[in-house]
Amino acid sequence: MPYNLEQTPQDMAIYFMTAAPKKLLSFFKNAIDEELVTDWSYDKDGDFTHTSKQWINKAWLHPEFENECLSLFTVPPKNAAVSREIYAEYHSRFLEAMITHCYALFSQGIATAQPTQKDNLKAIPQNSSLWDAK
């Protein structure tokens, strides 16, 4: 069934439709621990950051469980903004990693084009063109 904005929550940055969201998250973390996924790491809070030199610690993705989906929301670094480029890079690369390594554990992976209420908007510069569409 195609994605339907009318039937799903509107406040998600990235989400993966799955009957087992905790299993999906655990599987992905295990792939990181076993070094099958090398472009991502997670911290003691369970937040993910990209590990490439260019993108490390530019943002974090915070996982939450909602109904039958694993949701991830943007968390900025301290005293820094999350630009459109960083937002796009983190979302696209995370989707890529999940499709590559966890494809059997979810049916859909979807990212919002704009920040959501649960993304940390305080880190976004007020004059950023990223939010012009809102």
User: pLDDT tens for residues 43-67?
Assistant: 999 999 999 999 999 999 999 998 8
Number of domains in the chain: 1
pLDDT above 80 for 134: no
What is the model's pLDDT at position 9? 39
Give a yes or no: residue 5 inside a domain: no
Give a yes or no: residue 132 inside a domain: no
Range of the domain at 106: 14-126
CATH code for the domain of 53: 3.30.310
Single out the residue of 3, 17, 12, 5 nearest to residue 114, CA to CA. Answer: 12
Give a yes or no: residue 2 inside a domain: no
Confidence of residue 32 (pLDDT cuts 50, 70, 90): very high
Q: What pTM value is reported for the model?
A: 0.80
What is the model's pLDDT at position 79? 80
